[in-house]
Amino acid sequence: MTDTPINILKWSIHDTHPEIVDRVRASLAEVVDPEIGMTIIQLGLVRDVKIDGEIARLKMILTTPFCPYGPAMVDMTRQKAQEGLKMPVTVEMSMDAWDFGMMEDPSALDWGMYG
């Protein structure tokens, strides 16, 4: 078994600023969905990160549109993105529906987490 995630989401910065991708992923991996107990990176909630001049734009979704922790998670995501990117960040919420296939490692389903 490998520790490499199956579904690594490619963000805009993978092409434009590949040298900072690992640092940004590490910062964002500190944000945990308190209901599920997994990071926003593991869940695939950060859909894109791009740098637009002197500001970064992060696009994210929540596992459910009515997540009671949503506002706190969005704020923590913005803070951690700013730490990793070392620049101001805006967070844009997407209305795309989250599903288990967006997870980096859908085999988490086999751990009995959602059974």
CA R_g for the chain: 14
The beta strands (E) that lie in 1-115 are given as 32-33, 38-39, 46-52, 55-60, 89-93
Q: What is the pLDDT of residue 115?
A: 41
Of 35 and 86, the one with more pLDDT: 86
Confidence of residue 4 (pLDDT cuts 50, 70, 90): low
Q: What is the pLDDT of residue 88?
A: 98
Residue 114 has pLDDT above 80, yes or no: no
Please name each of the domains of the chain with its CATH number: 12-105 (3.30.300.130)
pLDDT tens by residue, 91-109: 999 988 998 888 988 766 5
- The neighbour count for residue 99, using CB atoms within 10 Å, is 10
Q: What is the pLDDT of residue 61?
A: 96
Q: Decide if 77 contacts 31 (C-beta within 8 A).
A: yes
Q: What is the pLDDT of residue 6?
A: 73
pLDDT tens by residue, 51-98: 999 999 999 999 988 888 999 999 999 999 999 999 999 999 998 899
Confidence of residue 13 (pLDDT cuts 50, 70, 90): very high
